[in-house]
Amino acid sequence: MVNISTPVIILNFKTYRQGTGENAVELAKACELVEQESGIPIVAAVQAADIYRVVSSVDKLKVIAQHMDPVEPGKNTGFITPEAIQQAGAIGSIINHAEHQLPLEKISELIKRAKALDLFTVVCADTARKAGEVARLGPDMVSVEPPELIGTGISVSKAKPDLVRSVVEKVHAINPELPALCGAGITEKEDVIRAVQQGAQGILLASGVVLSKDPEGVLRELAAGFR
């Protein structure tokens, strides 16, 4: 199992044009540069079609998939198997993002599959209750993301600090060693500082960096929030 230390920044490239194809490569290189400068681990979550391209273009940056499906290799046209993302070079995957949610039993199945393949998992939850439910399934990280704040520029750590704190408490009550992250609306250093104050051990974000005119600069500012 690849170890990802905390605090950590997980950047979801989503399907933005700015995070697709050669743009994904340039964004990944910015992630790698800021990681080297700051010492804060940065993980790039890229589209399945870009995994191999990005992994082949960076040195030590950790790359994960944005999603994978709980299906076995075989007759599953259009699905993304854990084996496929691994062979493309990804070290793991996001599971249950607000934009690609799965039933709890499918999340459980994926975590088991990932463990069997030594793949890293970060499972998203939209409430403290859901965070507790997925924490019991044994993922490597849990991240809370209220859907209503995603992409708004209104930070979860500012708008809902009690939610962040509640998630951290629920997750750590189940497993004190399980990192709890937060995401949605995070765009600046102060958002990170607030998240850390509530106990979060990392952030999961997308548009605040991917759509920025200066992704490298924004990443550098966010990383400074952990120091």
Instruction: Name the CA radius of gyration of the chain, rounded.
Output: 16
Which residues, listed in sequence order, are joined to residue 95 by a DSSP beta bridge? 123
- DSSP E strands, 26-160: 42-46, 62-65, 92-95, 120-125, 141-144
Q: Which SS3 state, helix, strand or coil, does residue 45 take?
A: strand
Residue among 145, 172, 177, 190 flagged as catalytic: 145
Q: Which SS3 state, helix, strand or coil, does residue 116 take?
A: helix
| Token pair in block for residue 215 | 């992704």
| Token pair in block for residue 162 | 């009690």
Q: Is 148 a catalytic residue?
A: no
Residue among 67, 97, 133, 221 flagged as catalytic: 97
Q: Is 97 a catalytic residue?
A: yes
Q: Which secondary structure element, helix H or strand E, spans residue 75, and what is its range?
A: none
Angle between helices 161-174 and 189-197 (to 10 degrees): 50
List, by residue number, the catalytic residues. 97, 145
